[in-house]
Amino acid sequence: MADDWYPAKKDAGDLNMPARRGVSQAAKWLLRAKPGNHAQECVRARAIMTEARGLVKGIHESVANGERIDPRTLDPVVEAIAASIQRDPTAIPSVTRLKLRHEYTFYHSVAVCGLMVGLARALRLDEAEMHQIGLAGLLHDIGKARIPNALLNKPGPLDDKEFALVREHTVRGHEILCDAGGVSDLVLDVVLNHHERIDGRGYPARKAGPAISVHARMGAVCDVYDAVTSARSYKPAWSPGEALEWMRGTEGHFDRAVMNAFAKTVGAFPYGSLVRLAGERLGVVLDPGQGDPLDPPVMIFMDAASKRPLPPLRIDRAGKSIVAVEYAERLGIPDWADVRREIIRHSTLGSSQDTHGK
């Protein structure tokens, strides 16, 4: 990464890890939990998500009612999320992908927190900085508490006036947290600047390049990724594979180094990815469910060399057979979005299976 904006670790010393306040019994158990398999950690992740969602919802309701908030009440769940990410980096993202549409804002905040912590680990930020980046994830959309829900959940596109009002959530969130007090500059920065773009076409201040901190760049990546992989009232969800392909191919929006680090944190083989398997076969990664995300099911559909369609074959544990993640444009596969949707749809209808991955 460029040295002109990446924060040296010696400059992060003022981000002191806060003591736990009012940690619930669930949070204490989740902090003490020992590493287990992916299914076990998903159970813990759901418990963390439920508790975090409740706390975030409570803070949003307090803001909407004109009450002053104490963001430090979120410290325990940030620590619980960080502990889960350390045990299994894929559990929190897997669980938070299944959101209730009418409570999207709250679940989205929890998901972004988990993604931010995972990305902070990938970028080797220190523990105190990691905690603050997680807190920033939980609070990044706090300004939406002052935006009408009817506007946030509008099923159709926003007009210019409505869009301008929604964009105010960054400035409003910054004001709310400044009024609350006790919030680090890092958190304030992410809340205010997570919609800025590298090319200067973001908001609220149209910052560009080095003017955008690494933390705000992280926020931009995590916020957009979770948004496009979530079903909303006005759009269906993209698969993680679709989201990563689009984000990596978008010019000027995201920092390349941060984007590359992020791609490694969401799993080696995200759901929906196009992969090449041994024997020059192409396949689509299916949702592993409670299985091991590093050994996911794959639906084979094409010979890589000839581009000849193959009879659909589902391999339930394909991790050891996967040679590389591929890109449809590079391989010249036309209408890839439609092809991928049909393959995933076919996978739910049943097909031939190879449960051994050979």
Rounded to whole angstroms, the maximal C-alpha distance in the chain is: 64
**Three-state DSSP state, 207:** coil
Q: What contacts 248, CB < 8 A, 6 or more positions away?
A: 259, 263
Which tokens in the block code for residue 259?
A: 């984007």
- Name the strand (E) or helix (H) holding 120: helix 104-122
- Name the strand (E) or helix (H) holding 35: none
Of 101, 176, 165, nearest to 140 by C-alpha is: 176
Which tokens in the block code for residue 175?
A: 């004001």
Burial of 74 (0-12, 13-18, 19+ CB in 10 A): buried
pTM of the prediction?
A: 0.77
DSSP code, position 197: -
pLDDT by position in tens, the chain (length 358): 333 333 333 333 333 333 344 445 555 556 667 777 777 888 888 888 888 999 999 999 999 999 999 999 999 999 999 999 988 888 888 787 766 666 788 889 999 999 999 999 999 999 999 999 999 999 999 999 999 988 888 888 889 999 999 999 999 999 999 999 999 999 999 999 999 999 999 999 999 999 999 999 999 999 999 999 887 767 777 878 888 888 988 999 999 999 989 988 887 788 888 999 999 999 999 987 667 777 889 999 999 989 999 999 999 988 888 888 888 878 888 888 888 888 988 887 755 555 444 4
Alpha carbons within 13 angstroms on the beta-carbon side of residue 243 total 24
